[in-house]
C-alpha cells in the first residue's frame, strides 16, 4: 500500500478516537484538522451554532496542517455528522482544493442519524479524488468495543493486509 494519512476533525473526541485506532492499525500518520475559529460551547447551544454553520453552508478557514499532503496517496478522512451531513471543517477541506488526486476512505461518527452524510461525502470526494469506501460509527462512547473489530477489518481490507 502507498503512504497513508489519517486526517480528521473532531469536536468532542469520538472521531479522534476512531482516527487513532485506524492510524495504529496500519501504522499511518495522523493529523487533526482545526478551524481557526472553533465553537466554544459543549452544551445544547453547540447544536444551534454548529447546525447554523451547516445551514448557512459555512466553510471555515482552517489552521495550516503539520503535514505535507503531497506526501500521501491514500487518506482516511474522518468527520462527525453535523445536521445530517459532513462537518463544515471537513467540507472546507474538500471544497477548497486541499485534497486532489488522492484515494480517500471516509469515516464518520454520529449519534444515530447520519442521513445522507456518506452520499454527500462521496460526491464531494469524487470531484477531485477517488472514493474508496465509507464506514459509519454510531455512538462511539457507548459502542466502541463493538465497533473496534469492525473498523480494524474495514481498514485492513482497504490497506490490503
Ligand X SMILES: Cc1cc2nc3c(=O)[nH]c(=O)nc-3n(C[C@H](O)[C@H](O)[C@H](O)COP(=O)(O)O)c2cc1C
**Which positions touch ligand X (CB under 6 A)?**
10-16, 46-47, 50-51, 80-84, 109-114, 140
Question: Which residue lies nearest ligand X, judged by its C-beta?
Answer: 50
CA angle 97, 34, 155 (to 5 degrees): 75
Measured from the CB atom, the residue of 14 and 103 that comes closer to ligand X is: 14
SS3 104: strand
E strand or H helix at 153, and its extent? helix 140-159
Residue 22: closest CA among 36, 7, 34, 33: 7
| Cβ at position 81, least distance to ligand X in Å | 4
SS3 37: coil
| Cβ at position 76, least distance to ligand X in Å | 14
| Cβ at position 147, least distance to ligand X in Å | 11
| Cβ at position 105, least distance to ligand X in Å | 17
CA dist 42 and 123 (Å) reads 30
Measured from the CB atom, the residue of 25 and 85 that comes closer to ligand X is: 85
Phi, psi of 73 (to 5 degrees): -100, -35
Measured from the CB atom, the residue of 140 and 155 that comes closer to ligand X is: 140
Measured from the CB atom, the residue of 16 and 102 that comes closer to ligand X is: 16
Which residue has cell 454553520? 53
Amino acid at each position: 500500500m502507498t503512504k497513508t494519512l489519517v486526517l480528521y476533525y473532531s469536536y468532542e473526541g469520538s472521531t479522534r478516537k476512531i482516527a487513532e485506532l485506524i492510524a495504529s492499525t496500519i501504522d499511518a500518520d495522523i493529523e487533526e484538522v482545526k478551524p481557526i475559529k472553533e465553537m466554544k460551547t459543549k452544551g445544547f447551544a453547540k447544536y444551534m451554532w454548529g447546525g447554523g454553520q451547516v445551514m448557512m453552508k459555512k466553510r471555515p478557514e482552517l489552521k495550516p496542517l503539520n503535514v505535507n499532503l503531497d506526501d500521501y496517496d491514500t487518506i482516511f478522512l474522518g468527520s462527525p455528522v453535523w445536521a445530517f451531513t459532513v462537518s463544515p471543517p471537513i467540507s472546507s477541506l474538500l471544497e477548497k482544493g486541499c485534497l486532489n488526486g488522492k484515494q480517500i476512505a471516509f469515516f464518520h461518527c454520529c449519534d444515530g442519524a447520519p442521513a445522507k452524510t456518506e452520499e454527500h461525502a462521496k460526491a464531494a470526494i469524487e470531484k477531485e479524488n477517488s472514493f474508496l469506501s465509507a464506514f459509519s460509527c454510531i455512538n462511539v462512547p457507548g459502542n466502541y468495543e463493538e465497533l473496534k473489530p469492525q473498523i480494524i477489518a474495514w481498514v485492513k481490507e482497504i490497506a490490503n493486509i
